[in-house]
């Protein structure tokens, strides 16, 4: 089992719809969770991070964390063509400072 | 100028050649990382360093070595390149005092023929 798993997609949503991206992780000691966006041929850039169970909102983006289920998700409201990219989920285990990435989900709007 | 700079940005080489990818940063971060990206496999950690005297293996360190020459410089070497090391390589930095976020360089695309 991979440490961080994502559905590679592609996930296709119409413009204006809500895109839901999901990620599961195996290490219960994980403390910090990150969502990065990566355009083709470019470097990853941070969208959001979340530490606590529940929801965290930033503009059109909402990160959701459920540590009991070892599940983190990213919702993108009012999806735009410019949101078309690969979204990478990353998990930091304990105090290691290592960030382990999932394989990424490709979103097409 | 970019905060995290990688050189070269693109390199084509032949099997068996020694290759070095260099990374320098102006962010003042203590932590530096090398990742490899292959289609459909996300980012995989090769090596990471928390300070000049601290080097750690990641998930896929076989066939690679690193050197942390200074706090701001972290290089990745392929002693004898092989075709399955063809990939996009990213350097990243982070701070022990920060949120845990990593900041990425622009990537080095390596092709081994």
Q: What is the mean pLDDT of each run of 10 residues along chain B (113 residues)?
A: 90 96 95 93 92 93 96 96 96 86 95 96
pLDDT recorded at residue B39: 84
Smallest CA–CA distance from B40 into chain A, residue: A103
- Answer whether B43 sits within 8 Å of A44, measured CB to CB: yes
Neighboring chain B residues of A8 at a CB cutoff of 8 Å = 40
Is B51 near chain A, with CB under 8 Å? Answer: no
A 63-102: CB under 8 A from B: 88, 90, 92, 97-102
The token duo for B22 is 């260099």
Query: What letters, b where the CB count within 10 A reaches 16 and e where it falls short, cover B87-98?
Result: bbbbbbbbbeee
Share of chain A above pLDDT 70, in %: 97
Choose among A4, A8, A44: nearest Cβ to B104: A44
Interface membership of B39 toward A (CB under 8 Å):
no
pLDDT at residue A95, rounded to an integer: 67
- CB neighbour list of residue A97: distance below 8 Å, 6 or more residues apart: B31, B48, B50, B94, B96, B100
Residue A37 pLDDT grade (very low, low, confident, very high; cuts 50, 70, 90) = very high
Nearest to B104 among A4, A43, A100 (CB): A43
pLDDT digits (tens, 9 = 90+) for A79-101: 999 999 999 999 997 767 788 99
Does residue B95 sit in helix, strand or coil? Answer: coil
A31-35: average pLDDT? 93
Question: Which residues in chain A have Cβ-Cβ distances shorter than 8 Å to B106?
Answer: 42-43
CA neighbor of B33 nearest in space, from B75, B2, B64, B78: B75
Half-sphere exposure of A82 (CA within 13 A, CB side): 2
Q: Look at B42 and A46 and tell me if their CB atoms are within 8 Å.
A: no
For residue A68, the 8-state DSSP code is T
Tell if the CB–CB gap between A46 and B101 is shorter than 8 Å. Answer: yes
């Amino acid at each position: 089992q991979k440490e961080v798993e994502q559905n590679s997609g592609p996930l296709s949503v119409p413009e204006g719809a809500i895109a839901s991206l999901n990620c599961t992780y195996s290490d219960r000691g994980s403390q910090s969770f990150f969502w990065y966006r990566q355009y083709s041929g470019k470097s990853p850039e941070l969208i959001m991070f979340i530490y606590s169970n529940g929801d965290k909102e930033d503009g059109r983006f909402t990160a959701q964390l459920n540590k009991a289920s070892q599940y983190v998700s990213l919702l993108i409201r009012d999806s735009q063509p410019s949101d078309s990219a690969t979204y990478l989920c990353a998990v930091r285990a304990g105090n290691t400072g290592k960030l382990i990435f999932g394989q990424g989900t490709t979103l097409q709007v | 100028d970019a905060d995290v700079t990688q050189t070269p940005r693109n390199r084509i080489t032949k099997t068996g050649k020694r290759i070095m990818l260099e990374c320098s940063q102006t962010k003042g971060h203590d932590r530096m990382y090398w990742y490899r990206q292959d289609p459909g496999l996300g980012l995989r950690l090769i090596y990471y360093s928390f300070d000049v005297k601290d080097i750690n293996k990641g998930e896929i360190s076989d066939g690679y070595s690193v050197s942390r020459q200074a706090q701001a410089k972290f290089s990745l070497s392929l002693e004898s390149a092989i075709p399955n090391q063809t990939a996009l390589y990213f350097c990243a930095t982070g701070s022990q005092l920060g949120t845990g976020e990593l900041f990425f360089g622009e990537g080095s695309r390596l092709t081994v023929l």
